[in-house]
Structure 1
């Protein structure tokens, strides 16, 4: 926890440096006037709507989704599954752990790189070869040879953690004068790992400070103090309880207190724990560690305003309940400060409904029935979305970014024309010259317009390189992709 506090303080220092620079370079960063667009939930999800409490998913589909979720966390595609881990460890070069870890070390090595590809620290200075060499020596790649599954390497996150591409808290920015780079885009930051998430320990650094772990979503380095090893008894008890009931946190920064009123940890939207419903509360099983850093189970009670049993009925009303606690939160690249980026926002939003989404935006559309209309014009794309989009269960991948469709509404800039309203966590918009970013910087209701009157030079989100639509109320046509092992994808940065 001390390291996370120290790391957060470092980020605040970096933030102040980069905001000064951004002010001095107004051509690179400006603020988009998001206040021009109504951010009240009741404006877009109306309690008076006759469909407000109508299920958006059939009972069969929602039950199927919950089973898939369980499999990724605790079942056949889980870090606790011997067969799943062995399939991962049996991969051969160039797609095995050692080769890919070596590739990451090369990726973050500044030697021989062009100016645009050089990485900088929080002091605006490029990293030296000694910096990457020290990290490589601490990893010791030889330990990744001939790995085999060991049940004692099963573990669980006992705190919220930063998932890193390499075992360091050092930031790695490209030059701040490159539009869309610099703060907050730390390229070593992959994701946030929530407490209660099962993991498998693949390796540790020589100093034991970092552990390379397989999670239900990716492979990354995490602070070793934030995970605890599990034994067979813990795993069986945890899985049995989760199979009976799981609960998802729906309010950020929910304090989880033990029976003596002591704070165990702070939970965020999308964190999942085995649970049972009491009269007016939800009873959670929460992991902690003993003095040998073995996992223990603690009992925690939270209110029904802080957590829900999964699957939460997928209605507009319930989506509004979860969004109420997410809307307006700042953008967090790769889960920085435990805020969300675009894909983490949707993953957090859909978790209470028992819908598992991958961590990477490009993969999330494969979880539903997919329609790819990337070859269509921007107008054709919007027209298709307005005609065929299903509110709350349609997500759209537009290349490096993913959004949720909320429905057809009147355009505030042209009341005679319809518009597609979306919910998304958005860093900013890019002009056609790509010489700056107009920053939104948070989770917002945002219309997908062909042109924004605030700045006609901005590229419409309907005019990006991709326009792939997925219906989450239908079974996917590419399910086989998630039954295969792609270590390269698991180890690639997952922060968009």
Structure 2
């Protein structure tokens, strides 16, 4: 949820009836579930409830967390007509390869520069829970050489998965004492061999300020190699494969390798002994990109783009389900917007990086002035499973259909749920990718007015971008 509030998904309410979305699905009343829920409901004095820190939400216990059944139920509405598919793919290629276009940066350079200055002049806590020394921040800002920012315009490529940072340091800055994991310098992770544009360097040359397809920030210079037209041509003009196995090992052709995420794009060179042969860029001694051909197992990648259907959605989504929450992709994990970006990348469907940018990238239906019941009714009328995003400030979710009781369900990476309390604010941590209703957490005392249904403000349909071409409703 980079760019939003740090509350994650603060949600509440669910019923505890057996849930089944398709004929023949078994009810999920396992004995362990039935014995656990009463313990979750036990209350102590006032409205305070002692909830075990690792207690699962009833939604997570009772709703299937794999996407196979939901995708099967929505199978008839999943296919995207060819004109729209072509339009979405053209948009994806334009955005993905933008750093190599030579055109103006889509990011506000003056605002970016001003933001670095403001951060360096702020008051922060460090990893040791003490105030960060202002002298350290001044030295850090001086190393940015902002008086000449930006000073370069060089096409490049990410030669290893690496994190962007708001300032050239790996040390965190926290707004409050004990504010982990919300490091305000943590920006998105670059995927292996993503197109980049180098815009600047620190005075010592150890950090580069780069533009990626969806963000910009500082990165360790060892993660970047400059590219010439020949290297760019391999990605721009050749057939591409996309990784469909998360954290797939990819060789660097020199005896080493990387763990690369779903959505990583690599040029296809051929097939050898049942394996894919792909091109991988690495850096030579002069920090220029060199191409090596390496092998990938066939099950680790598919030709790009992948078809959008009831087989491929679970193929990707089931690997992401249950994945731990990672603010700004900390530790190589995902937050709410990174989850959806990576889920849709293999299909050639572009989503920007932050939750707000994602919902604003498509036509929206304003839900902010509706009651919870009206919001739910509007979602059922207008939402298309697996093509519809729901937004509340700081959080984004994928609508995947309704359960047997007619309650809308969402697939999302949620951080926490705010609990009702007479004392200081309390939260229960979800901390992973889950399938829930829009009212998860009622059984553990979610705060009144804090559910996803209460706070959702907009609905967007991804294929609504194709309205002019397809006459979509």
Query: Shorter-chain TM-score category?
Result: 0.7 to 0.9
In the aligned structure 1, how far is the partner of 2:149 from the partner of 2:52?
A: 42
Question: Against the structure 1 CA distance between its residues 339 and 372, is the aligned structure 2 distance closer, same or farther, given a 3 Å change threshold?
Answer: same
Shift in Å, 1:233: 2.2
CA, structure 1 residues 271+34, in 2 after alignment: closer, same or farther (shift >3 Å)? farther
Task: Look up the match of 1:403.
Answer: 397
TM-fit CA distance, 1:173: 1.4
Show the 5 A alignment for 1:355-366. 355-366=349-360
Is the counterpart of residue 228 in structure 1 residue 220 in structure 2? no
Q: 1:451 to 1:229 in 2, by over 3 A?
A: closer
Match of 2:430 in 1: 440
- Mapped pair 1:136 → 2:136: no
Q: 2:447 aligns with which of 442, 457, 466?
A: 457
Residue 55 (structure 1) shift: 4.1
Compared with structure 1, are the counterparts of its residues 54 and 384 closer, same or farther at alpha carbon in structure 2 (3 Å cutoff)? closer
Alignment of 1:34 with 2:54, yes or no, is no
The CA deviation string for residues 66-124 of structure 1, in whole angstroms up to 9 with x for no partner, is 111111122xxx11111234x76xxxxxx544x632432223433xxxxxxx4211111
Partner SS state of residue 131, structure 1: helix
* Higher relative contact order, structure no. (Cα contacts within 8 Å, ≥ 6 residues apart): 2
Secondary structure in 1 aligned to 2:203?
Answer: coil
> 1: CA distance between counterparts of 2:325 and 2:403?
25
Q: Distance in 1 between matches of 2:67 and 2:222?
A: 43
Structure 1: tracts of 5 or more residues without a match: 1-25, 89-94, 111-117, 411-416, 479-496
User: Counterpart of 2:88?
Assistant: 65
**Contact 2:420/2:445 (8 A) holds in 1:** no
TM-score, normalised with respect to structure 1: 0.77
Q: Judging changes above 3 Å, is the alpha-carbon distance between structure 1 residues 41 and 351 closer, same or farther for their aligned structure 2 residues? A: farther
Q: Say yes or no: does 1:391 pair with 2:385.
A: yes
Q: Secondary structure at the match of 2:436?
A: strand
Residue in structure 1 matched with residue 18 of structure 2 by the alignment: none
Aligned partner (choices 241, 246, 253) of residue 247 of structure 2? 253
Query: Matched residue pairs, number?
Result: 417
Q: 1:53: Cα distance to partner?
A: 7.8
Per-residue deviation at 1:58? 1.3
Shift of 1:224: 0.4
SS of 2:319 mapped into structure 1: coil
CA distance in 1, matches of 2:310, 2:388: 13
State whether residues 333 and 341 of structure 1, in contact with CA within 8 Å, keep that contact through their aligned partners in structure 2. yes
Work out the CA distance in 2 between the residues paired with 1:449 and 1:331: 19
Change (3 A) 1:195 1:322: same
Do residues 195 (structure 1) and 153 (structure 2) align?
A: no
What CA RMSD, in Å, does the superposition of the two structures yield over aligned residues?
A: 2.9
Distance 1:286 1:44 in 2: 32
Three-state SS of the structure 2 residue aligned to 1:79 is helix
* d(CA) in 1 for partners of 2:355, 2:95: 18
For 1:156 and 1:297, locate their aligned partners in 2 and report how far apart those are by CA, in whole Å: 11
Of 409, 417, 429, which aligns to 1:429? 417
- My pick for the range that moved more, 314-323 or 36-45, is 36-45
Q: 1:84 maps to what in 2?
A: 104
Task: Give the stretch that moved more between structures: 427-436 or 292-301.
Answer: 427-436
Question: 2:139 & 2:67 partners in 1: Cα distance?
Answer: 52
Aligned to 1:266: 259
TM-score by length of 2: 0.81
- Report if the CA contact (8 A) 2:57-2:440 is conserved: no
Which whole-Å CA distance do the structure 2 matches of 1:386 and 1:34 have between them?
24
Helix, strand or coil for the counterpart of 1:475? Answer: helix
- When residues 277 and 395 of structure 1 are mapped into structure 2, their CA distance, relative to the original with a 3 A threshold, is farther
Measured in 1, the distance between the counterparts of 2:130 and 2:51 equals 20
Q: Report if the CA contact (8 A) 1:138-1:205 is conserved.
A: yes
Q: Which residue of 2 aligns with 1:122?
A: 127
Give the structure 1 partner of residue 119 of structure 2. 107
Secondary structure in 2 matching 1:124: coil
- Secondary structure at the aligned position of 1:385 is classed as helix
Aligned counterparts of 1:436 and 1:60: Cα–Cα separation in 2:
49
